[in-house]
Structure 1
Amino acid sequence: MNLNQLELLRVLKDTQFNQSKAAEIMHVVQSAASRQLQLLEEELGSPLYERHGKKLLGLTPLGEQVMEQVDRINQAKKNILSIADDFRENRNGALHIATTHTQAKYLLPEPVQKFREKYPGITIYMVQSSPQDLIDQLHQHRADIAICTEKLDEDEKLVVKSCYEWQHIAVVPRHHPLAQGDVTLGRLAAFPILTYSQGYTGRSNIEKAFKNAGKELDITLSAADSDIIKTYVRLGLGVGIIAGTSYESRNDNDLVARDLSHLIPRSVTKIAYLKQLYLPTYLQYFINELLSKAAKEHQY
């Protein structure tokens, strides 16, 4: 067994078991890659992949367990490089952030600006996607840190830190009936609802509140982006339920914001990274800036 064989397993996983692509990435001919895989399986005494002819279909139970160790080895290699960079006080490199639209627009600008001032040589890459995809980005080593509200607590391989607590609000045009009077789930249920897509920005808490109250939730439009929801509220399509942090008094003064903290459980935005990840100094600094901004503005 050698490191090249283990690296081949990792590359095969990344290419969905495509042997020709894996060989190309490894800079060898396909026959050589296939031979290395055969030698490894012979040494282990059992196949690592389910096959149909020469095509790899997926991992065997042994292959699944071996891949867990390969992932740890790959992470260890990355950690060694990060430790060496920290030792040399290297201020070049990249910070990969995986987050949602809401956090990218309303939480990250100030911490990112401060980070750039302190580490101008480090390039920032930001990916916006669904919470599940953000978690996948961490496991695939395509992101150093993930920031969102949903799903992070469900993954035992992550370190998860609470960042700030927030509540949902309802937004309606100024002439709308809900612009005045007490807001109840019953009154909200009487109108079409525009809110976040499944898995985004506390959507589960919205559904839970209506279900517990025995009220039907009529969602006629869902989106990952708060600004899109507000756009269609302005067009009169229904009542928007969005994160309170997404309401900008200067830009949204044509809409009335109604507090829903007494109706919908408060949500917590979290920061997560792999437990096995070595945190270089620059990443520790960025995490601390996020927590500092959240504590200052949201009193978490």
Structure 2
Amino acid sequence: MNLHQLRFVREAVRQNYNLTDAAKSLFTSQPGVSKAIIELEEELGVDIFTRHGKRIRGLTEPGRLVLQSVELIMQEIESLKRIGKEYAAHDSGSFTIATTHTQARYMLPKVVQAFMQKYPKVRLSLLQGNPKQIADMVKNDQADLAIATESIAAIDGLITLPCYQWEHVLVVPHDHPLTRSRAVSLEEIASYPVITYDAAFAGRSKIDHAFGLRSLKPDVLLEAIDADVIKTYVELGMGVGIIAGMAFDPERDRNLRAIPVGQLFGMNISRVAVKQGAYLRSYIYTFIELLAPTLTRKMVESAMRGGENYEL
């Protein structure tokens, strides 16, 4: 048994059981990959993959258990490599953050600026996607950590910690009738066309849930992942907007008024997620603490050892 065989098994699964693609990804030959997998199966005494002719189609039941062990072994190998790199150059390297547009656009700029001032030799990359996509990036070692609001706490294989709370705001032009309401209600909002986030982003599930509890079906005129887009169409008078409070800047958004509506849609918690069992370089702990000062290295390490998510 050798590491090449384990890499081939993992990559075959990642490439949807296409050995040609797996070979290309690992810069080797397809026959070599196929032979190595067969030799591993013979050594283990079980079939890892189901087959149709010469093509593999999926994992057998023992194959799923083998894959779990392979993932753990390869993760430990990557951790060993990272340990070596960190001690060779503790203040330099690469760091990849996977996050949603809202976090990247409104919450991270000041944190990233402070981090880069502290670690100018670190090459920082930002990857954007919806919550499921960014969670998969961390699980597949494409990113070191993920930051999002929506449901990443429920994804297996990730350790998540709460960063901060925020609420939605209703954005309308200054002369809009809702600015004269003492306490804006869901019924009042639903009487206007609504412009808000795409279903996968920025607490949209809580918005839909609140309306659903009151048996209201608002006319969602437009969905977007970018609050600036939402505000643009609100300024044109096309409807009322519901955005994350962090996305409203009184100086920048002078043509609009923000009305807090956390009492209607509830509070949201943005979380940082790392892969369970991953090795984090020291500057990643620093970044997490810059993002949420209460999340000290000791707390993060404790959560990772315990394998449990933390709550506020």
Deviation digits for residues 181-232 of structure 1 (CA, Å, limit 9, x no counterpart)? 1311110011111111112111111112112223223222111111111111
3-state SS, counterpart of residue 211 of structure 1: helix
Does the 8 Å CA contact 2:190/2:216 hold for their aligned counterparts?
A: yes
Distance between the aligned counterparts of 1:44 and 1:99, measured in 2?
A: 40
The residue aligned with 2:106 is 106
- In the alignment of these two chains, the number of paired residues is 295
Map residues 168-187 of structure 1 onto 2, 5 A cutoff: 168-182=168-182, 183-187=184-188
> Hey, what does 2:193 align to over in structure 1?
192
Which residue number corresponds to residue 44 of structure 2? 44
Q: Which residue of 2 aligns with 1:297?
A: none
Say whether residues 1:233 and 2:224 are aligned partners: no
Using the TM superposition, give the Cα deviation of residue 29 of structure 1 relative to its aligned residue in structure 2, in angstroms.
Answer: 2.3
Matches for 1:1-300 after TM superposition, within 5 Å: 1-182=1-182, 183-292=184-293
- Shift in Å, 1:293: 9.6
Partners of 1:111 and 1:293 within 8 A in 2? no
Is the Cα contact below 8 Å between 2:191 and 2:218 reproduced in 1?
A: no
2:90–2:282 Cα contact (<8 Å) kept: no
- Measure the CA separation in 1 of the matches of 2:81 and 2:3: 16
What CA deviation, in whole Å up to 9, does each residue of 1:150-207 have, x standing for no partner? 0111124221111110110111122322222131111001111111111211111111
| Cross-structure match for 2:302 | none
Report the CA distance shift for 1:116/1:272 in structure 2 as closer, same or farther (over 3 A).
same
**Aligned mates of 1:82, 1:29 — CA distance in 2:** 28
- Partners of 1:22 and 1:156 lie apart in 2 by 25
For 1:31 and 1:85, how far apart are their aligned partners in 2?
Answer: 33
Distance 1:46 1:73 in 2: 19
CA distance in 1, matches of 2:221, 2:179: 20
Question: Could you tell me whether the CA contact under 8 Å between 2:139 and 2:158 is conserved in 1?
Answer: no
Q: Deviations over 1:217-256 (max 9, x none)?
A: 3222111111111111122221110001100111111011
Q: Deviations over 1:93-131 (max 9, x none)?
A: 210100011111111111111211221121111011100
Deviates more, 1:46-55 or 1:30-39: 46-55
Give the TM-score normalised by structure 1.
0.93
Q: Which moved more, 1:262-271 or 1:114-123?
A: 114-123
Q: 1:138 aligns to what SS in structure 2?
A: helix
Report if aligned partners of 1:174, 1:254 keep a CA contact under 8 Å in 2.
yes
Gaps in structure 2 of 5+ consecutive residues = 296-311
Unaligned runs of 5+ in 1: 295-299
Distance in 2 of aligned mates of 1:125 and 1:293 = 24
Percent sequence identity is 37
Q: Which letter maps to 2:6?
A: L
Tell me how large the CA RMSD over aligned residues is: 1.7
For residues 125 and 185 of structure 1, the distance between their equivalents in structure 2, rounded to whole angstroms, comes to 40
Q: The residue matched to 1:292 in structure 2 has which SS?
A: coil
CA distance in 2, matches of 1:121, 1:14: 32
What amino acid sits opposite 1:47 in the alignment? D
1:76 Cα deviation (Å)?
0.8
Kept in 2, the 8 Å contact 1:194–1:229? The answer is: yes
Q: Letter of the aligned partner of 2:74 in structure 1?
A: N
Q: TM-score, normalised by structure 2?
A: 0.90
100-109 vs 22-31, greater mean Cα deviation: 22-31
| Greater than 6 Å deviation, 4+ residue runs | none
| Displacement of 1:291 | 0.4
Contact 1:207/1:217 (<8 A) preserved: no
- How far does residue 53 in structure 1 lie from its aligned partner after superposition? 2.2
Matching residue's letter, 1:65 = L
Letter in 1 for 2:2: N
Greater shift, 184-193 or 6-15, is seen at 6-15
Q: Is the 8 A contact 1:137 1:143 kept in 2?
A: yes
How many angstroms does 1:89 deviate by? 4.1
Shift of 1:91: 2.5
